[in-house]
């Protein structure tokens, strides 16, 4: 009975890790940040992923990683990308290349979050039409992109797209 050899602290940690290992990501998610210098550099940690370096800009931080707001742009754009690609594949479309560029404009007064986010989707495909894109962007923004739903009403988001036939 290995568990008997653990002290209370280790026991708590073991229990937490067991819960995390068993967790169903469709229901709940876990993440941690840990300060790694004497300024504002954190390591972001999720089980099974390489740690991601997070930092703030000078003079408070040292530009040693992503800012919190850049992570928000990646969260939002990857959420939209996941929904769009899932729809397109269900429709039997061929996707040769796919990217989303995001650009966030910050408010001047605190809290200095984004007043506006521009998302530009660039897709390379022989058969995706502009009408397909319009439909699935609307569906994603209204229902199938959870990160959109979490910032809805607080940030103005403009989504544009470009379907290319050739690289």
Question: Can you tell me which of 12, 14, 32, 129 binds a copy of itself, judged by CB under 8 A?
Answer: 32
Selected from 14, 143, 160, 164, the binder of a copy of itself by CB under 8 A is: 143
CB atoms within 10 A of CB 140: 20
Distance between CA atoms of residues 8 and 86, nearest Å: 45
For a copy of itself, the closer of residues 107 and 134 by Cβ is: 107
The torsion defined by the Cα of 134, 136, 141 and 144, in degrees rounded to 10, comes to 180
- Among positions 45-74, residues that touch a copy of itself (CB under 8 A) are 46, 48-50, 52-54, 56-57, 60-61, 63, 65-74
Can you give the C-alpha Rg of the chain in angstroms? 20
Residue-wise DSSP of 61-90:
S---SB-HHHHHHHHHHHHHHHHHHHHHHH
User: Which tokens belong to 104?
Assistant: 């966030």
9 binds a copy of itself (CB under 8 A): no
Binds a copy of itself (CB under 8 A): choice among 128, 148, 159, 161: 148
Closer Cβ to a copy of itself, 1 or 28, answer by number = 28
The verdict on 77 binding a copy of itself (CB under 8 A) reads yes
One character per residue 102-141, x = contact with a copy of itself (rule: CB under 8 A): xxxxxx--xxxxx---------------------------
CA neighbor of 77 nearest in space, from 115, 39, 122: 122
Minimum distance from residue 1 beta carbon to a copy of itself (Å): 28
- Name 120's Cβ contacts closer than 8 Å, sequence gap at least 6: 100, 101, 102, 103, 159, 160, 161, 162
Lookup result for tokens 């009975």: 1
163 binds a copy of itself (CB under 8 A): no
Name the one range near a copy of itself by CB under 8 A: 22-30, 127-135, 158-166.
22-30
Q: Does residue 27 interact with a copy of itself by CB under 8 A?
A: yes
């Amino acid at each position: 009975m290995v568990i008997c050899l653990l002290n209370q602290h280790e026991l708590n940690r073991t229990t937490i890790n067991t819960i995390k290992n068993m967790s169903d990501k469709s229901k709940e998610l876990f993440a941690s940040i840990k300060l790694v210098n004497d300024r504002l550099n954190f390591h972001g940690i999720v089980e099974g992923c390489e740690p991601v370096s997070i930092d703030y800009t000078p003079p408070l931080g040292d530009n040693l990683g992503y800012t919190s707001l850049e992570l928000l742009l990646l969260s939002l754009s990857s959420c939209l990308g996941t929904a769009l690609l899932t729809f397109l594949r269900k429709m039997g479309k061929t996707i040769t290349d796919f990217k989303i560029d995001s650009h966030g404009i910050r408010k001047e007064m605190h809290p200095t979050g984004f007043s506006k986010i521009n998302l530009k989707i660039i897709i390379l495909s022989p058969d995706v039409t502009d009408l397909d894109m319009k439909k699935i962007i609307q569906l994603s923004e209204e229902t199938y992109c959870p990160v959109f739903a979490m910032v809805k009403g607080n940030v103005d988001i403009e989504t544009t797209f470009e379907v290319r036939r050739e690289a």
